[in-house]
Structure 1
Amino acid sequence: MDDNIEVPKYFICPISLEIMKDPVTAVSGITYDRESIEHWLYKSNNTICPVTKQPLPRDSDLTPNHTLRRLIKAWCAGNAANGIEPIPSPKPPLSRFYVINLIRDLSFPDLQMKTLQKLEALALENERNRVLMVEAGLGEGLISFIILCYEKRETNGLEEALSLFRLVRTPLGKSRGPLTENDEIIESLMWVLGCDRLHDNVVIKSQAAYALKVIIQKANPRMLESLKPDFFKNILSHIGELGNTCRKGLNSLLCVLLDACPWGRNRVWMVESGAVVDLIEVEIRSPEKKTTELVLGILYHLCSCADARAQLLSHTAGIAVVTRPILKVSSMADDRALSIIWLISKYCGTNEVVEEMLRVGTVAKLCMVMQENCAPHLKENAREILMTHSDVWNDSLSLDVSTLTR
């Protein structure tokens, strides 16, 4: 484009600062290029008009500005000799009715693969399509398809369905439906994780782990209360497998365990399945911010049980693994780590344990928390732990603990 060409101001999108290809007017009265405003609303999750700062709900109408588009099109054609490219014809917005028909086609074996490919192509186009597909029931349709594969012990189309499930990101919407009350959903996804025919397919297993995380997050409390010991044993075995190959899959399964922790019986079964040792090993092998936060969150819940505390202390790296993240990862990790150490200090504070805390640097970290700009409740936890065992630690520290915590 010739630098001397002056583009009319009202042809320019306020977001992209480029000539609009498909101008649409928001409820705030401002006109934007459709691609830019949809990215602002759907992908960036903004709820205000970027120009007027007025509320702009994501589900508000974007009205095509046909008059402005004709003006832009005519101006581009008139300046073609100056290097101005013509704007393409806008693609019609995706129809909800069309998506619903595609979802229905998933129940016909002859149409399944072609339908999955069509749905994936639509989902890849833009965020607006993905939101509309979710609202049309795509998540439920994909779950039904996965259950059907489980019932038939058929893996054809599983990879495509799970990939699409991951792509749309919020496949079950905000509310619980009949599918999140069906125990067969969990059985189906556990089958995918353990399927011999998919033994080497880490991608599919990672996607299945993500789907399981979403289901557990949306599950009816009755479903979470009815989880069996074998469920936790299997999850822990897959954590070991995915921990070495796929971070996303590992974190999804850790989220599953964390969401199941509020139920006491689940915590007991996790402990009996060896979860404490497995989690410590995960943190030793692959420390990373999100993984560390999840591991510490689960360990905090489990350490409400005496058996879990005993397992943690019996591991040679147990206290060290909990101590290491303090002041190094995040405030969430600090909170969870200090809560675990507080439980150990209160219920298992033998001389041997207290000396181990000194040896691996726990006491030093607690002193640092007292001196850093940390949240008041973290300082209070650190102060209480230090004061509880100050008579032991004063003999080994050059600084009087009581002076620091006063």
Structure 2
Amino acid sequence: MVLGWRRRSTGHGATKKQPRDLDMEALIPNHFLCPISLDLMKDPVTLSSGITYDRQSIDTWLEAGNFTCPVTNQVLRNFDQIPNHSLRRMIQDWCTQNKHYGIERVPTPRIPVLPMEWGAESERNKRCILENGTASVLAAAFDSFATDCIKRNATVCEEILSALSWMLPAFDEEAHKYLGSQASLHGMVWFLKMSDDLSVKQNAILALKELLACHDRNKHVDALAEIGGVNEVLFDFIREKISPTITKASLRVVFYLISSSSSSSSSKSSEKIKSAFLEMGLVSILLEILVDSERGMCERALGVLDSLCDFQEGREKAYANALTIPVLVKKIFRVSEMATEYSISAIWKLCKCASRQEERVLVEALQVGTFQKLLLVLQVRCGDENTKEKTTELLKLLNPYRDGLECIESVDFKNIRRSF
């Protein structure tokens, strides 16, 4: 069979004096033809069998439920379609060389969007996918695979977490229910501890952060606290700073864990978790982060430090570190309004709860310029009403210690000896 591209006579250009023009044709090389459609391939792709097809034709074949290579009849090991760029360029060159036969050049195909990227390609796609309950379906699938065996089903669970990562933070109540199951929590923690892939760790910690951000986080805190090694892995993520995204998410997860106290059981879990983090040296690590970090990291670190100052053991660790007050004062007005509120709140807790042996913290606060900054907070009307109340109370606490003290700039604490 001879396959060719015949040039047709059109308009007034064809005359009886040129009869051979009617028979002129460009023969298409056989390896340019799709084995399925027998047409010139526009987007050649190669399957695992080694045979090349036009993408549209092989997509139709696979979507019909076929699992074999149409030419060899072999069962395909996978359904990956590798673009054959060399063959596509050869086809384009051939089209250009034969354009006088009326052959149009095959355009360079657009890179197809993978299923996992549909939602990430546009907000419209993402909204459509979420509105149809995709997040809850994927969360339910993750729960099922994790319940069966997270280690055996690790590959598919990784793909599910990857798909869920671009749906954040639009999880619905049903998705939270499935991700909050004991099996799902164990699965996410397993990835945090065992996976060597940084992207998998990131997807797991982001899903965990989103789960604990919901209004009903207390029951999840109780379940998570019972999983061995979770405190250690979160602490390592914060200390090692292997990725800004992972560190920020870990700080937020720790914040949710230690600040959950609306029920008696959650309060006990929260106290247990706080003690574990304090014994590992979290206060020192947070202060080290605060000395030189960007805005997002500072806000999260200050939030955790403020929460740790809610109870005596946390305050004792803060009192014992020479950097605590200078760093907290420095962050007022230096980062953001949220950072200012966290800093004032932590200083207020440390000063208000200081015993007679710890009254030096008030003197230290004055020496690094706290009084002036607090006055400025009231003057510029920074923060909410709660922050203003704490600021006013702090001024009253500090005022009796002002006589005879020389106030210095809060930036001048480079030579203070660190406790770590």
TM-score w.r.t. length of structure 1:
0.61
Per-residue CA shift, 1:211-257, capped at 9, x if unaligned? 1111222456423234326433332223223xx23111112122222
- CA distance, structure 1, for counterparts of residue 392 and residue 405 of structure 2: 17
1:332 is matched with 338
Matches within 5 A, 1:202-241: 202-218=198-214, 221-228=218-225, 230=228, 231-241=230-240
* Aligned AA (2:184): I
Residue equivalent to 1:295: 301
Q: Write the mapping of 1:260-339 to structure 2, written as runs, cut at 5 A.
A: 260=257, 261-263=259-261, 264-275=267-278, 277-285=281-289, 287-339=293-345
Structure 2, gaps ≥5 residues long: 1-62, 64-76, 82-112, 262-266, 409-420
Is contact 1:216–1:259 with CA below 8 Å preserved after alignment?
yes
Q: Which residue of 2 aligns with 1:368?
A: 376
Residue by residue over 1:192-211, the C-alpha shift from the partner in whole angstroms, topping out at 9 and shown as x without a partner, is: 0111xx33x32221221111
8 Å contact 2:367–2:407 — kept in the other structure?
no
Instruction: Report the structure number with the largest CA radius of gyration.
Output: 2
Structure 2 partner of 1:396:
405
Structure 1, residues 85-109: CA drift from partner, whole Å, max 9, x if none? Answer: xxxxxxxxxxxxx9xxxxxxxxxxx
The one of 241, 245, 249 aligned to 2:242: 245
Deviation at 1:310, TM superposition (A): 0.5
Residues 1:184 and 1:346: Cα distance change in structure 2 (over 3 Å): same
Give CA-to-partner distance per residue, 1:281-329, whole Å, 9 cap, x none: 2452352222222222222222221111111111221222322211112
Q: Which amino acid in 1 is paired with 2:390?
A: N
How far did residue 161 of structure 1 move? 3.0
Distance 1:282 1:346, change over 3 A: closer
Q: 2:126 matched to which residue of 1?
A: 130
1:180–1:220 Cα contact (<8 Å) kept: no
Query: 1:188: Cα distance to partner?
Result: 0.7
Separation in structure 2 between the aligned mates of residue 217 and residue 376 of structure 1, nearest angstrom: 22
Aligned length in residues: 284
How far, CA to CA, are the matches of 2:160 and 2:80 in structure 1? Answer: 9
- Structure 1 equivalent of residue 359 of structure 2: 351
5 Å-filtered alignment, 1:149-188, equals 151-154=149-152, 155-170=154-169, 172-173=171-172, 178-188=177-187
Partner Cα separation in structure 2 for residue 227 and residue 397 of structure 1: 48
Q: Note the C-alpha offset of 1:280.
A: 4.4
For residues 112 and 228 of structure 1, what CA distance do their matches in structure 2 show?
A: 41
Percent of aligned pairs with the same amino acid: 20
Structure 2 CA distance for aligned equivalents of residues 290 and 283 of structure 1: 15
Report how far residue 120 of structure 1 moved: 1.1
User: In structure 2, do the counterparts of structure 1 residues 282 and 142 end up closer, same or farther at CA, with 3 Å as the change threshold?
Assistant: farther
Q: Specify the code of the residue in structure 2 equivalent to 1:128.
A: R
Amino acid at match of 1:365: K
Give distance in 2, aligned partners of 1:202 and 1:122. 23
Q: Could you say what secondary structure the match of 1:164 adopts?
A: helix
Cα 1:126–1:371 shift into 2, 3 Å: closer
| SS of the residue 2:192 aligns to | helix
Where does the alignment leave 5 or more consecutive residues of structure 1 unmatched?
1-97, 99-109, 400-406
Relative to 1, partners in 2 of residues 1:376 and 1:234: Cα closer, same or farther, differing over 3 Å? closer
